[in-house]
Amino acid sequence: MINLQTCDVAVIGAGAAGLAAGAECAARGLSTVIIDREPLAGGILRQCIHNGFGVQYFKEELTGPEYAVRITEAALAAGAELKLDATVSEIKRLPDGAFELLILSAKDGVSRLTARAVLLAMGCRERNRGNIATPGTRPAGVFTAGAAQRLLNMEGMLPGTSAVIVGSGDIGLIMARRLTWCGIPVKAVVEIMPEPSGLPRNVVQCLHDFDIPLYLEHAVTNIFGRERVEGVEAAPLKNGVPQPDQAFRIDCDTVLFSVGLLPENELSCKLGVEINPATGGAIVDETLQTGVPGVFAGGNVLHVHDLADFASAEGKRAANGIVRYLNGGQKPSGCRVTAGANLKYAVPNSFSPGTKTEFSFRPLIACDRAVLEAEQNGSVIWRKDLKFIRPAEMLNIELEAGAGELLFNLRSKE
């Protein structure tokens, strides 16, 4: 027998964004169900045992598991229902504008949940060796950084005895430190870009403090080993091309890939949500509503954040948009937002004139002095001087603008 349930809001994903959104929706009087495929709420936070979380959102430094418990308790205290160990396999829009979710779980079997609004908060997944087509054999000992982190921090198992990390994303940097603490020497971190892709504090605390070599503008061009990894070949890049005559071997039995994250948007696409190629997430308006009325997105499923705190704050903003939508609020007018010079993207993708809107950007340059400008109808209407710009760190601003397309540009002042 299929279980039937109705609610005002269905939140898909019980990570930093989904739990914050669920707490806000429930606190505003909406019946809210938060669904997650894991047996415990918190998402990736539960395996991040280091501190540095919560300073922005809770005004207190927490570890990842502490942050997960705190925000889960907030959602439950507000009245949200958690449906864990459950997978949303299908969503369809009903003729009356509501949504029907097909949910599979070992505990409840097959159930159908009807909701007036849906928040997509599925987070992101790691890019792996196949995504970047790294050559070589296919031995044991090759992991994504997140998989190795889960294996070590949650399963209590060592991934190997010596390691090379491909890419300098934050999870990879943190795992370089974690492996070192466990007595597993990290022979090198190899990054194709001229700048590390992780936060500067993680470069210092996880690499420099442990004298772990960082090879910038280098690529791993081969993985050796039959049954188990035996080593890798690395080579410097010239104009993005590996130089085989300068290649060198690094012996190790473990390779971790930390080469970026991809928003988890399979369900979004099934719903007909338009995806922004610059972010891999949905195209949204100022309320974080997608082009499908009643479907909202927030957190890493929308664009990859550098801090869980920012993902939670964005989830809360999405909840405010949901409340407005369900209360019959007028749909935003939708003036276009464009990311210009030295910016990978701008979120949201549209705004209403005369309304304060929070914008997030991902810079494409590294410099110590820059200016961010907003241009409208051929004139600069706003500018702000910024310091220490790095691609690893998001830029967040609040701006109220008039009618017309809004173009943002980031310019170095060096």
> With the C-alpha atoms ordered 358, 360, 122, 272, is the resulting torsion angle positive or negative?
positive
Phi and psi of 364, rounded to 5°?
-110, 0
The mean per-residue pLDDT over the stretch 303-323 comes to 97
| The predicted structure's pLDDT at residue 37 | 96
Q: Which residue has the higher pLDDT, 1 or 366?
A: 366
Check: CB of residue 68 under 8 Å from CB of residue 55.
no
3-state SS assignment for residue 109? strand
* Same domain? 413 vs 312: no
Domain termination site, one of 243, 259, 275: 259
| The predicted structure's pLDDT at residue 2 | 79
* Same domain? 204 vs 288: no
Number of domains in the chain: 3
Q: Which pTM value belongs to this model? A: 0.94
Share of the chain above pLDDT 90, in %: 95
Per-residue pLDDT band for 108 (boundaries 50, 70, 90) equals confident
Domain termination site, one of 211, 227, 259: 259
Q: Say which residue the tokens 């910038």 belong to.
A: 216
**Does 330 have pLDDT greater than 80?**
no
For the chain, report the end-to-end CA distance as a whole number of angstroms.
67
| The predicted structure's pLDDT at residue 160 | 97
3-state SS assignment for residue 67? helix
The mean per-residue pLDDT over the stretch 278-285 comes to 97
Q: What is the Cα–Cα distance from 278 to 269, expressed in whole angstroms?
A: 16
* Same domain? 297 vs 381: no
> pLDDT tens-digit profile of 27-55?
999 999 999 999 999 999 999 999 999 99
Residue 3: count other Cβ atoms within 10 Å of its Cβ.
Answer: 12
| The predicted structure's pLDDT at residue 107 | 86
| The predicted structure's pLDDT at residue 85 | 97
| The predicted structure's pLDDT at residue 326 | 96
* Same domain? 215 vs 308: no
Instruction: Measure the CA angle with vertex 14, ends 8 and 20; round to 5°.
Output: 70
Per-residue pLDDT band for 329 (boundaries 50, 70, 90) equals confident
Give, as one character, the DSSP assignment of residue 365: -
> pLDDT tens-digit profile of 229-251?
999 999 999 999 999 999 999 99
* Same domain? 141 vs 243: yes
Q: Please name the residue ranges forming H helices in 240-296.
A: 266-270
143: domain range? 128-259
Q: What is the Cα–Cα distance from 15 to 72, expressed in whole angstroms?
A: 9
| The predicted structure's pLDDT at residue 247 | 97
The mean per-residue pLDDT over the stretch 335-344 comes to 97
* Same domain? 181 vs 226: yes
* Same domain? 133 vs 223: yes
| The predicted structure's pLDDT at residue 414 | 81
Instruction: Answer whether the bond into residue 348 is a cis peptide, omega within 30°.
Output: yes
> pLDDT tens-digit profile of 176-221?
999 999 999 999 999 999 999 999 999 999 999 999 999 999 999 9
Task: State the average pLDDT for the chain.
Answer: 96
Phi and psi of 300, rounded to 5°?
-70, -15
Environment class of residue 298 by beta-carbon count within 10 Å: exposed (0-12), middle (13-18) or buried (19+)?
A: buried
| The predicted structure's pLDDT at residue 1 | 64
Q: Between the CA atoms of 203, 216, 212 and 223, what dihedral angle is there, to the nearest 10 degrees?
A: 120
* Same domain? 104 vs 172: no
The domain that holds 152 is classified in CATH as 3.50.50.60
The mean per-residue pLDDT over the stretch 258-266 comes to 95
**Does 332 have pLDDT greater than 80?**
no
3-state SS assignment for residue 246? helix
* Same domain? 319 vs 214: no
* Same domain? 196 vs 206: yes
* Same domain? 32 vs 79: yes
The mean per-residue pLDDT over the stretch 144-149 comes to 97
Domain termination site, one of 226, 259, 292: 259
Check: CB of residue 411 under 8 Å from CB of residue 342.
yes
* Same domain? 267 vs 120: yes
